[in-house]
Every structure is written in C-alpha cells, then in structure tokens.
Amino acid sequence: MSTPASQFKEPLESVRARVADDLRAVVAAESVLSDIESLRPYECDGLSAYRKLPLVVVLPDRIEQVQEVARYCFKNDIPIVARGAGTGLSGGALPIENGVILSLAKFNRVLKIDAQNRTAVVQPGVRNLAISEAVAHLDLYYAPDPSSQIACTIGGNVAENAGGLHCLKYGLTVHNILKLKIVTVDGDLVTIGSDALDSPGYDLLSILTGSEGLLGIIVEVTVKLLPKPECARVIMASFDDIEKAGNAVGNIIAAGIIPGGLEMMDNAAIRATEDFVHAGYDVEAAAILLCELDGIPDEVEDDIESVKVVLAQSGYTQMQIAENEAQRQLFWSGRKAAFPAVGRISPDYYCIDGTIPRRALGSVLNKITELSKEYGLRVVNVFHAGDGNLHPLILYDGNVEGDLEKTELLAARILQLCIEVGGTITGEHGVGMEKIDQMCVQFDSLELTQFHAVKEAFDEKRLLNPDKAVPTLHRCAEFGAMHVHKGQLKFPEIERF
C-alpha cells in the first residue's frame, strides 16, 4: 500500500495555477475555480467541522469533460474528490489539499423516464426529490428518501448508499438502482449493472454503491421507480419515557408489521422542530414515534388497528392519526427538517449514525443520556427507529475552545457503544472522514487489508477520494484502536484506560 500519490516538489500556489490552466483547456474557463476566495466555500461539505482548501474546483457539464479531467489527473497523479450537493454528513466530499474537487452539480437533468418499466435515467447531480417530482404525474416515485432529499443528489446517494425514512420497508439506494455509468480513475466510461434485475459476472453494482467515491466517478444512474402507495397514513404516539418508546419500536416489528417508516424523536428534537414546522408535536413528551403505514386502504386500516394495540401495550401517553394528506406531510416535514432545525437551539452540531439491533434501543438511548451528562454536552436524538439507525446529534459551540474535541470524544464513545451491543458505526451516512478511526474498531487488520485490495483493483494509484472511508493500517495503529469484532472485545479481561 503506497501513500497517496502526487507529492509536488514545487510550491502549492504554482501547482494550483498550472493545474487550473491545464483544466481550463478541458472545461469552460469560468468552470475552473482556483482563487482562494472562490475555493473557500468548497472547503467542507455538510460536516463543516472538518475543512480543507482544495487545489482547484472543476465544474464540468459533459461526461467527456469528466473523462478528460480524470485522464489529466491520472497522468499527473492528482487526487480527485467527487462532490454532489455537498450535503453529506461524514465529510465524504472533504477536499484534499493537493487534490481536485470535481463537482457534478451541473449534471442536473432527468434524461429518460420509462413508465412501462418503471425506471428513470438521471444525471448524478439530480436532486433526490426532483426524481420523485419528475415522475409524480405518472403516480410513481423514487423510494429512498434521506432527510436531506430536497437538496442531496442521486450521485451522492449512490456513493453513500443513502437510506431514509422509508428504507425500512423499501430498502436503501442499493436496492433501488439498476445501472450506473462511471468514469474510472484513468478516464474510461464504464457501464455497471443492466436494465434487468441481474447481470452476469460479479455484482459490481453493489460494490460501487456506498463506495464513497473511492472506486469511480458516477456520471449516470438508472433508478427503479415504485407506484405511489394507494393509501398512506401516519400515527404519532407520545411516550413519557424514552426507553418505552424504544421498546414500542421493537414491539411493532415483532408483531409482524413492516411500517413504511418508523421514526423517533426525543424531547429536544421535538421542541426544535416544532418551532419551525408547527406540526402539532407533543412538546411535553419524552419521545414521539411516527409510524407510517402504506398499501391498499383495507390493509392500512388493519395495520393501524394492530399498531394501536401494540402502542397501547407499550404505554403511550398520547396518540394522533394524521387526518389527511396535508397533515401527514406536516407530521413528516418536522422529522425531515429536524437536523438543521437543531440550528435553532445550538450554533453547531455533530451528527453520527451508528446502527444497533432494535432490542437495544432503549438501553443505548439511556446510556447516551448518561454519556451526554458525563461530557457536559447536549445530545439530541432523532432517528430511523425501525431499522435501529440512530442519529445522535451532539450539540456544541465551535466558538468555544475545546468543545469540538470533546464532541469528537463523545461521538467515539457512542459509536463504540453501538459496536458493543452488536451494531455498526454507520447506517447510511457513510464513513467518510468522520468515522474513519472507528473503522479500526469495527474491522480488524485482515479485513481492512481486503478492503484496500478492492480499492486497488479499481484505483491502484489511490487517487480517488484517498484516505477516506477505509483507514490505512498505519492510521489504525496510531489510533491505538481496541479491536471489537462481532461485538466481542478481544481480551475483555484486560482493564482499559
């Protein structure tokens, strides 16, 4: 394993000027940004705690240009970080000092809608929600709906294998795409997957999905579309105890019901979002559950009755069923805007997305509350309860010295807790830069070596988003990770400090 390439011998500024000049021969002059002033807004994605100025930013609008840029960078050993809308929460699009940011935001057209086969071919910069909007007149939609769906792009969704409120029932991005066109590190255009559900050879589509920009640059996506459910209704239940709410989630699934979405918000999240959406959330509740049931009307009615019974057995304090579509949308709008709405109660937040077995929800949430007290930092919980995908938001103030460092320590503790109960460090946001050290905890060195072998099969020079998602063994050694494997800490009898 080599270290990332492109160790320039000349000063960074002259490299910057040269690379920018060269790239201006490939794309329009105004589509190459190289002055520091213009580069600054690209120094981070949705995780603004981590920042790095890129060498240059290039904004192509044709696939051939992407290929040219890739070829140029390959020849000159310049790393490439692909970027969509920059809404990612794990620093996946965090620039590299000596690397190019390749923005795919200009690729924002829906190329083809095939109602008969229920597919759409879209460019990578198309917003997630824009796909559903474009096919709404056919009563179709694209199922994965990350909370940032208004802004995040499908290319980024594929790179992170994004989930969303409805992935409990309808799957993640990987279950909802058929085919990708990617540009390889050396500039070839390759089609992966096919218009059919299966294609011969290895299932490379699954390897590419969630590969966080390490294996190729996504330039076209064929997505599956689903018919809009005939009927969808949402139940909102309040609980006076967070553990009770957590247990209710497990009870619903155990009763054999697969809700379209099953989400939980704790009191702090309820208050912050209610302030913005005025959805009628119960601001006194310790937690609320939003449970959506969809399908044909009879089926939905039956499910609602069953869920009501389970909720009653689980000890809810209040329950409300959305009376109409507008109210259903309103109930969800608060949940979808919950993260940024937290901006109303804290200048900064740090979001992690550890995922745990449903049965552990209650105990882990209580443990998080304890850790929150221990570190003196508020934690807001708003998450995909149905699939155990937590999203603890740690609130901090970037202007207070040491606050971010403390936040990172707390985040690491929470992720470690997730692994200890048999879970993982990420459910849908990706590892990026944010959770790279926790990868050392989740996987042992043999496993990581295999991951690197996959990377090298696609990108031997390690130019595509290097040093993200999969840590080098060297990094893990420095991190001094405790290796927890399959929930088992090695040598648990040894006391750790």
| Bridge partners, 193 (sequence order) | 179
The reply on whether position 151 binds another protein by CB under 8 A is yes
The SS3 of residue 249 is helix
Could you say which residues in the range 37-66 bind another protein, by CB under 8 A?
A: 37-38, 40-42, 44-46, 48-49, 59, 61
Binding mask 64-103 for another protein (x = CB under 8 A): ---------------------xxx---------------x
Task: Choose one: 138-146, 165-173, 346-354, 407-415; the region binding another protein (CB under 8 A).
Answer: 346-354
Least distance (Å) between residue 56 CB and another protein: 13
Query: Judged by CB under 8 A, does residue 33 bind another protein?
Result: yes
Contact (CB, 8 A) for 89 and 434: yes
Residue number with CB closer to another protein (407 or 472): 407
Which residue in the set 341, 390, 415, 439 belongs to the binding site for another protein (CB under 8 A)? 341
- Tell me the one-letter amino acid at 385: A
Q: Restricting to residues 350-379, name those near another protein by CB under 8 A.
A: none
Interface residue with another protein among 337, 380, 433, 476 (CB under 8 A) is 337
Q: What is the DSSP string of 256-300?
A: T---SEEEEEEHHHHHHHHHHH-----TT-SEEEEEEEEESHHHH
Instruction: For residue 355, give the DSSP letter.
Output: B
DSSP-assigned states of every residue in 450-492: HHHHHHHHH-TT--BSTTSSS--HHHHHHHT---EETTEESST
Does the protein bind another protein through residue 276 (CB under 8 A)?
yes
Longest CA–CA separation in the chain, Å: 71
Quick one: 124 or 193, whose CB is closer to another protein?
Answer: 124
398 near another protein, judged by CB under 8 A = yes
Instruction: Fill in the per-residue mask, 97 to 136: x = in contact with another protein (CB under 8 A), - = not in contact.
Output: ------x-xx-x----------------x-x-x-------
Smallest separation (angstroms) from another protein to the CB of 395: 11
Q: Which helix (H) or strand (E) holds 233?
A: strand 231-239
Quick one: tokens of 467?
């040093």
Neighbours of 332 (CB within 10 A): 22
Shortest gap between Cβ of 244 and another protein (angstroms)? 28
Rounded CA-CA distance 281/146 in Å is 21
Q: Is 409 helix (H, G, I), strand (E, B) or coil?
A: helix
Site residues for another protein per CB under 8 A:
33, 35, 37-38, 40-42, 44-46, 48-49, 59, 61, 85-87, 103, 105-106, 108, 125, 127, 129, 148, 150-152, 273, 276, 337-344, 347-349, 398-399
